[in-house]
Chain A
Amino acid sequence: MFALINFSYLTAAVCFILGIKGMTRPSTAVRGNQLAAIGMLIAIVAALLHKDVISYATIIAGILLGAAIGIWLARRTAMTAMPELVASLNGVGGGASVAVAASTWLHASNVGILGSTGWAVAIIASIIIGAITLTGSGVAVAKLKGSIGDSRIPKIWQLVTLVSLITVVVIGSLFVAGGAGNPVLLGVAIGFCLLLGVGLVQPIGGADMPVVVALLNAYSGLAGAATGFVLDNQGLIITGSLVGASGLILTAVMCKAMNRSLPNVLFGGVLGGDAAGGTQQDEGDFYAGKVKYATPDDLALLLDGARNVVMVPGYGLAVAQAQHSVKELAGELESRGATVNYAIHPVAGRMPGHMNVLLAEAEIPYDQLKDMDTINPELPRADVAIVLGANDVVNPAASEDPSSPIYGMPILDVHRARTVVVVKRSLSPGFAGIPNSLFIRDNSLMVKGDAKDVLQATTRAMKEL
């Protein structure tokens, strides 16, 4: 029976690997996800057959409660709120790992059989990573929702982090050295790990949350792998490391797209934090009289003659829920024989791939969604580039001004298009806190307003032409 159960866990892990393999192409991705779900079902059935499982009431209650909450979350969450959902689920996964490790330890200590040093290390690792993921994700969700702003006292939080980190390492070592038998040490360790999670994420600016969410995704996987070590369950270890690898790769992708190192994101504090006061004063002078404003009617006239249009979505598009309005305008343009493409910067939005999901929701074909390296050589041929609520990722200072804090960050070269139209609610700076020289270029126009309203007005105006 034991062999059969372990064989089932292996089968589940194989299903997960093949499932992720399916995700390498949009056409096979739905199947892949279903295959992974089947793998999960196999693993659950196998676990229920475990010889130690005597009472089913608690398990069924937990599954029913969890499934009800899960289904509700999956149905209710809007596509614009996907970053918050993924961040919450990271935290939930971390919490589950902590609970499993603590519960397993309690069982072992009740029976009086504590495991080897390796086992003790696994217990403490599972608790450390899980607890950090739990509270870290909580802070990340609050920052994504905007209910917590950027910290004014990042230095103090970094001190809290350092102190908790040292405490956790010392207590963890004592726990392992003492044969993993001391419940007080374990409790204190959990407490400080929860604090450590808050301390690690709190000083990081809201703009860097995509990196944090990807990293916490990796942590939730590694917490699962550590739980696998606790339970001597190889299926869990394989799955945990798959998720860990996924999160780490996405973290690396995001860091590269911002031209920053991971330590810089995690410990560098808020980007441009010290300089922000100075630049804000200069902003009036920076833009004074140099920005050319246009109306949706002007935009419609401009688009009437355009053959090649590139849309550049940013977080503003998500805030304005403008994905369907973009599709409407694109449809109008296409009916006049124009080509429409979408330029997606890797850090546009609040998580990797966020813009792609929003545009897919509006039924925009995914072959029109172009990544940065594909669209940049084509931008000089574009008649009009429409920037929808993006800012720092289209700031030419990143390639032209070595004194700029974002110098070196790869950007979408929209300033090379014949005309750039920036749709934005105000001239306020993006997350980097610096003015955008794109707005005062000769070939750029600004249409002030909410992305959705502007796009709808433009589509109406075009139909009347």
Chain B
Amino acid sequence: MEMFVLSFTIFILALFVGVELINKVPPTLHTPLMSGTNAISGIVVVGAIVSAGSEGTSPTLANLLGFLAVTLATINITAGFLVTDRMLNMFKRKN
């Protein structure tokens, strides 16, 4: 339970950091911001990796779901970062 309280504290503080930070992003970059945050929400891949790789002997339903999760999260990460990069380079080359 102490762990939960600690985690919850971090969650709330991080929300405030997020609000402060994102309010400074100009409207011009809102689309790349969305695709970029798509990419970083792929961080659930760390949980997916542990789910997919544990108890390796026979593939259980849990491992199968882990595999699905790794695939989905990796789609988010690669598509998110690459498409954001593509867009941001369009904004950059003007200077």
Contacts and interface: CB of A to CB of B under 8 A. Distances in A.
Interface of A: 9, 12, 16-17, 19-21, 23-27, 29-30, 32-34, 36-37, 39-40, 43-44, 46-48, 50, 52-59, 61-63, 65-67, 69-71, 73-75, 77, 79, 82, 85-86, 89-90, 92-93, 95-97, 99-100, 102-104, 106-107, 110, 116, 118-119, 213-214, 217, 220-221, 223-225, 227-250, 253, 344, 346, 351-354, 356-357, 360-361, 363, 365-367, 369, 371
A110 to B, nearest CB: 7
A96 B62 contact: no
B94 A366 contact: yes
B88 A232 contact: no
Interface of B: 1, 3-4, 7-8, 10-12, 14-15, 17-19, 21-56, 59-63, 65-95
Given A40-B77, A244-B15, A73 B83 contact: yes
B27 to A, nearest CB: 5
B81 to A, nearest CB: 5
B81 A353 contact: no
Given A71-B79, A214-B34, A371 B27 contact: yes
A89 B79 contact: yes
A242 B48 contact: no
A73 B38 CA distance: 13
A232 B44 contact: no
B69 A99 contact: yes
Given A86-B34, A99-B65, A110-B60, A227 B44 contact: yes
- Residue picked from B7, B67, B72, most chain A C-beta under 10 Å: B72
Given A29-B91, A224-B44, A249 B19 contact: yes
B74 A79 contact: no
A57 B63 CA distance: 11
A70 to B, nearest CB: 3
B90 A228 contact: no
Given A227-B47, A235-B43, A36 B75 contact: no
Nearest to B23: A249
Contact of B70 (A50, A59, A351): A59
B10 A237 contact: yes
B8 to A, nearest CB: 8
Contacts of B8: 229
Given A92-B72, A96-B76, A116-B4, A246 B33 contact: yes
Contacts of B23: 249
B7 A62 contact: no
Contacts of B11: 225, 228-229, 237-238, 240-241
A44 B47 CA distance: 10
A328 B31 CA distance: 24
A363 B15 contact: no
B87 A58 contact: no
Contacts of B95: 26-27
Contact of A236 (B31, B46, B79): B46
Given A54-B55, A71-B78, A40 B65 contact: no
Contacts of B69: 62, 96, 99-100, 103
Nearest to B36: A33
Given A47-B50, A50-B50, A99-B65, A369 B28 contact: yes
A52 B62 CA distance: 14
A44 B46 contact: yes
Given A77-B83, A93-B76, 10 more contacts: A24-B26, A40-B40, A40-B42, A43-B46, A48-B49, A85-B35, A86-B38, A231-B46, A244-B15, A245-B17
